[in-house]
Structure 1
Amino acid sequence: MSRSTLRRRRKPAGERALLKTIARRNALSEAERRYVAAVLCCERFADLAVPQVFTRLLDEGTYLCSVSTMYRILRANAQVRERRRLARHPAHEKPRLVANAPRQVLTWDITKLPSSVKGVYFSLLVMIDIFSRYVVGWTIVRRANAEIAAEFIRATLLREGIEPRQAVVHSDRGTEMTAQPVCDLLDKMGVARSYSRPRVSDDNPFIESSFKTLKYQPTFPSAFGSLEDSYAFCSPYFMWYNNEHRHSGIAMLTPAAVHFDQGEAILAARHGRVRIIDVN
């Protein structure tokens, strides 16, 4: 704490309040404030910004008050607003999806994998089940587009046996995610669509977390020499992620154990071993 703050706090409350109410010697009177407001709102200056009015008056040899004081007077009279025509975006509710079992809510996204050529990337498409964190589908292409994304989603949902009105597919609002081929496919398959809010980066946390796990692997290369090299890395990685990686978000179970309904048995066995150790 600074010495000035300490001295101020030691003063009696009444004295501190008195100091706050002392008027500034150069403060404008009420009549002067009304005059400034009238000048700012006159026909000559009504459509000009405050700095424009200030400098024009100053060039004519007239000084009424500072620019900030002009703004304060206008704000006090509710006469300050955004002059530009700005797009008004509708309010979007935060997506709230609940999954009580696998294959109810799926989420997907696209991330870039660096190639050995500067500025060139491969596109990794991944879909996971948010209940089990199981990677239900993935593919790598040289460049993603709406048609590739739609085919990836179609193949993944069919492989998982998703029936109409069974699941929700969540994604952000990227170009491929909101493209007409993808929307038409999901509507045709009877799968509900869910999207992150515009300009909100954390509405799709599960897939983003899976990408971080991938790219923070000690063996993740700085660049892939070819599309085949990226497949050679990702294929064993996703096998490991699904079948060996103990996920902190699902009681340190593997995604495969939860996805294929083995989690309860594994947890029961763990608890049994702990009880035996406690007894001994």
Structure 2
Amino acid sequence: MHQLKGWQGVPVRPYSKLKGPSKGIYWQLYVILDIYSRSIMGWRIEDHESAELARELMDEAITKEGVDPNQLTIHADNGASMASHSVAEFLVNLGVRKSHSRPHTSNDNPYSEAQFKTLKYRGDFPERFETIEEARTFFAKFFSWYQYEHHHSGIALMTPADVHEGYAEAITERRAEVLKGAYQNHPERFVNKVPTPPTLNTEVWINRPSEEEMKESP
């Protein structure tokens, strides 16, 4: 069950390569995403991939959110930074559970893939970034928009901030009242039924375990 202002599960996209000013130059984008609310828990852009950077980002995000690490599962791809011994040891010491994408399965994390599709299909996403500072400025604006303005189809057309901050139930109730009023005023516009707003899923999964595996887990 999702804990408000906490995380149900956290995919870490340890890095996504952003094209720099010329061929062969890339900036590395690290992102932590709560899969329930689709909220951005942390991000950074650096000039190299590093297990230490990934570890620092997770530590900062956990501290900032004030979350009990024992409730977390980190899902990551199989990149060198997230598969490293230092990150694995760090997560074990925190009590954080860890899972990885299946080998050679690039779309094993649909939540991160959806976020990056939203990013790359925006008209203002540049082909290249001239400097790392330019990339950081662009993503600061993008993630602010994504968090507070983007009404996501996967979370009942709410913003990630709405869900993460615990406003989803109140928003759904207000929407239901508006729809009820519309039906009462113009029932002919509807098919013999009071319209209802979309609702959030009660739980979400990446690679959901079988019933037997769930019974065996502590």
TM range (shorter): 0.7 to 0.9
RMSD, aligned α-carbons = 1.2
Tell me the equivalent position of 1:104: 8
Tell me the equivalent position of 2:51: 146
Tell me the equivalent position of 1:131: 36
Q: Does 1:270 align with 2:172?
A: no
Q: Does 1:190 align with 2:92?
A: no
How far off is 1:164 after superposition? 3.6
Q: Name the amino acid aligned to 1:229.
A: E
Contact 2:62–2:69 (CA<8 Å) still a contact in 1?
A: no
Instruction: Structure 2: give runs of 5+ residues left out of the alignment.
Output: 186-218
TM-score scaled by structure 1? 0.63
The whole-number CA distance in structure 2 between the counterparts of 1:188 and 1:117 is: 41
Tell me the equivalent position of 2:216: none
Q: SS of the counterpart of 1:266?
A: helix
Contact 1:170–1:193 (CA<8 Å) still a contact in 2?
A: yes
Deviations 1:197-241 (A, max 9, x none): 112222211112111111111111111110110011110110010
Q: Does 1:211 align with 2:113?
A: no
How far off is 1:188 after superposition? 1.1
Tell me the equivalent position of 2:204: none
Higher relative contact order (CA 8 A, sep 6+): 2
Tell me the equivalent position of 2:132: 227
The whole-number CA distance in structure 1 between the counterparts of 2:112 and 2:16 is: 10
Identity, % of aligned positions: 39
The whole-number CA distance in structure 2 between the counterparts of 1:170 and 1:229 is: 29
The whole-number CA distance in structure 2 between the counterparts of 1:104 and 1:130 is: 7
Q: Name the amino acid aligned to 1:205.
A: P
The whole-number CA distance in structure 1 between the counterparts of 2:90 and 2:68 is: 13
TM-score scaled by structure 2? 0.80
The whole-number CA distance in structure 2 between the counterparts of 1:215 and 1:140 is: 16
Match of 1:159 among 64, 71, 74: 64
How far off is 1:158 after superposition? 1.4
Match of 1:201 among 88, 106, 128: 106
After TM superposition, the runs of 4+ consecutive aligned structure 1 residues lying more than 3 A away are 99-102
The whole-number CA distance in structure 2 between the counterparts of 1:107 and 1:201 is: 13
